Structure 1
């Protein structure tokens, strides 16, 4: 199996066909392990949520069933990274909050990711590294916006419960 681009894949559709597999390789090769990756994903979801995050919101954002998200959240709570709290918007709901340890773990993982990014791109120029970082961040933000629109369109009543 070769990781080099296919012939004629340097432009147009051939290049775009390689994006999905490339993103999959990135997830497999640049994370410490599946548990760390999942835990970091959950911590970032709670941190980045503009409002209150619930277990149901974690499930929706991760694209997994509620029981899967519930087990992942429970592990983060057991590790002292998250805590359950009463919603300030609706006292009947339970929301998730980062603990100080959760924020420290999120920061540690971000530092490790930056270090790996810098090691992988060591042969790149500063301009190439900065441009790629800007495009990757933009792609992530646009992906999040697109995903939110998709969920609203597929949810009865047009709303999502985070």
Structure 2
């Protein structure tokens, strides 16, 4: 296989998993992929924004590539489900910031546990060196995309 075939292979995987991951990650009490995406975005934005108060809806919008109103609806749905909470920023009471609730942390823990188990299942026949190398490449790609 040439490196030129990596793109089509990547997108075959994306299409495959975009239709299936909700059943594994969010198979519980009415959870949706939208909640997982929202909570993941809140975590990443709070970590990356350097804002000790937490992420904002604008941060989530930029992270997910959405407009402000789309992100606001996603955040409102995640808040209604009990995964995130809005509060006033300590430094600027006019700003609303987002924080995970214990339920949001549990959702992400469950999501990551399922992701790890799925990776282990998909690569179960691979030797450990190949699994570790592939995991490293995936982490590298994800980090570069997020930068």
TM-score after normalising by structure 1: 0.74
Gaps of 5+ in 1: 1-9, 146-162
1:42-81 per-residue CA deviation (whole Å, 9 max, x = no partner) reads 1112122223311121111111222221121111111111
Bigger radius of gyration, 1 or 2? 1
Matched residue, 2:118: 116
Q: RMSD of the alignment, in Å?
A: 2.1
Gaps of 5+ in 2: none
Report the alpha carbon displacement of residue 17 of structure 1 after superposing the two structures with TM. Answer: 4.2
1:87-110 per-residue CA deviation (whole Å, 9 max, x = no partner) reads 233221101000111101110111
The reply to whether residue 16 of structure 1 matches residue 16 of structure 2 is no
User: What SS does the aligned partner of 2:98 have?
Assistant: strand
Query: Following the alignment from structure 2 to structure 1, what is the Cα–Cα distance between the partners of residues 5 and 39?
Result: 35
Runs of 4+ in 1 over 3 A off after TM superposition: 14-18
The reply to whether residue 26 of structure 1 matches residue 12 of structure 2 is no
The reply to whether residue 134 of structure 1 matches residue 122 of structure 2 is no
State whether residues 80 and 102 of structure 1, in contact with CA within 8 Å, keep that contact through their aligned partners in structure 2: yes
Pick aligned residue for 1:41 from 30, 37, 62:
37
1:111-147 per-residue CA deviation (whole Å, 9 max, x = no partner) reads 11111111111111111111111111111111000xx
Report the alpha carbon displacement of residue 12 of structure 1 after superposing the two structures with TM. Answer: 3.4
Report the alpha carbon displacement of residue 36 of structure 1 after superposing the two structures with TM. Answer: 2.9
TM-score after normalising by structure 2: 0.80
Matched residue, 1:86: 88
Query: Following the alignment from structure 2 to structure 1, what is the Cα–Cα distance between the partners of residues 135 and 90?
Result: 36
State whether residues 30 and 116 of structure 1, in contact with CA within 8 Å, keep that contact through their aligned partners in structure 2: no
Pick aligned residue for 1:97 from 89, 96, 99:
99
